[in-house]
Homo-oligomer: A and B are copies of this chain.
Amino acid sequence: MPSERPLVDAAGSAVEIVEVGPRDGLQNERTLVSTAAKIAYIEALVAAGARRIEATSFVHPKRVPRMADAEEVMAGVPRGDGVRYIGLVVNERGLDRALAAGVDEVNVVVVATETFSQRNQGMSVLEGLRSFSSISARARSSGLRVTATVGASFGCPFEGEVDPAAVGALVRSCVDAGADEIALADTIGVGVPSDVARLVAEVRAVTTDLPLRFHFHNTRNTGYANALTAVALGASALDSSTGGIGGCPFAPAATGNIATEDLAYALRRSGVATGLDLAALVSAAALIGGELGIVLPALLGRAGDFPAGLSPERRL
Contacts and interface: CB of A to CB of B under 8 A. Distances in A.
A190 B253 contact: no
B188 A299 contact: no
A315 B2 contact: no
Interface in A262-316: 262, 265-266, 269-271, 298-300, 302-304, 306-307, 310-316
A196 interface: yes
B9 A303 contact: no
A303 B269 contact: no
A6 interface: yes
Interface stretch (A33-41, A131-139, A151-159, A169-177): A151-159
A193 interface: yes
B228 A151 contact: no
Contacts of A221: 218, 224, 258-259, 262, 265-266, 298-300
Interface residues of A, number: 79
A302 B253 contact: yes
A225 B266 contact: yes
Contacts of A194: 8-11, 269-271
A306 B253 contact: no
Nearest to A27: B315
A134 to B, nearest CB: 19
A307 B220 contact: no
A15 interface: no
A255 interface: yes
A192 B313 contact: no
A254 interface: yes
Contact of A314 (B149, B187, B265, B315): B187
B3 A254 contact: no
A6 B2 contact: yes
A315 B122 CA distance: 12
Given A157-B314, A225-B224, A270-B194, A303 B6 contact: no
A311 B248 contact: no
Interface of A: 2-11, 27-28, 64, 109, 111, 116, 119-121, 149, 151, 155-158, 160-161, 185, 187-197, 218-222, 224-225, 228-229, 232-233, 248, 250-251, 253-255, 258-259, 262, 265-266, 269-271, 298-300, 302-304, 306-307, 310-316
Top 5 A-B residue pairs of the complex, sorted by shortest distance between their CB atoms: A6-B6, A251-B312, A160-B307, A225-B225, A8-B197
10 contacts: A3-B4, A28-B315, A160-B306, A160-B310, A219-B303, A219-B311, A221-B299, A222-B266, A224-B225, A254-B311
